[in-house]
Amino acid sequence: EPEVTQTPSHQVTQMGQEVILRCVPISNHLYFYWYRQILGQKVEFLVSFYNNEISEKSEIFDDQFSVERPDGSNFTLKIRSTKLEDSAMYFCASSNSGQETQYFGPGTRLLVL
Amino acid sequence: EDQVTQSPEALRLQEGESSSLNCSYTVSGLRGLFWYRQDPGKGPEFLFTLYSAGEEKEKERLKATLTKKESFLHITAPKPEDSATYLCAVRGGFQKLVFGTGTRLLVSP
- Give the three-class secondary structure for B81: helix
The minimum CA-CA distance between B107 and chain A, rounded to whole Å, is 20
What pLDDT score was predicted for residue A15?
97
Q: How far is A15 from chain B (nearest CA, A)?
A: 23
pLDDT of residue B71: 98
Contact A18, A82 (CB under 8 A): yes
What per-residue confidence (pLDDT) applies to A102? 96
Report pLDDT for A51. Answer: 92
Q: How many CA atoms lie within 13 A of B105 on its CB side?
A: 30
Contact in structure between B61 and B75 (CB atoms under 8 Å):
yes
So what's the pLDDT on residue A110?
A: 98
Q: What is the pLDDT of residue A87?
A: 98
- The better pLDDT of the pair B70, A71 is held by B70
Minimum-distance CB partner of A55 among B95, B97, B101: B95
Put simply, the answer to whether B44 touches A43 (Cβ < 8 Å) is yes
Q: Could A98 and B95 be called an inter-chain contact, meaning their C-beta atoms sit closer than 8 Å?
A: yes
For residue B34, list chain A residues with Cβ-Cβ distance below 8 A: 101-102
Report whether the peptide linkage leading into residue A25 is cis, meaning its omega lies within 30 degrees of zero.
Answer: no
Whether B43 sits inside 8 A of A99 (CB atoms) is: no
What pLDDT sits at residue B68? 92
Contact status of A106 with chain B (Cβ, < 8 Å): yes
What is the pLDDT at residue B35? 98
Residue B50 has what pLDDT?
A: 96
Which pLDDT value is given to residue B92?
83
Q: Which residue of A has its CA nearest to B90?
A: A101
Instruction: Report whether pLDDT(B93) > 80.
Output: no
pLDDT for the residue A60 = 94
Q: CB distance from A76 to chain B under 8 Å?
A: no
- Amino acid A11 reads Q
pLDDT tens sequence across B13-68: 999 999 999 999 999 888 999 999 999 999 999 999 999 999 999 999 999 999 99
Burial (CB count within 10 angstroms: exposed 0-12, middle 13-18, buried 19+), residue B7: middle
Hey, are the CB atoms on A91 and B42 less than 8 Å from each other?
no
pLDDT of residue A97: 85
Closest by CA to B97, choosing from A4, A77, A34, A50, is A34
Which residues in chain A show pLDDT less than 70? Answer: none
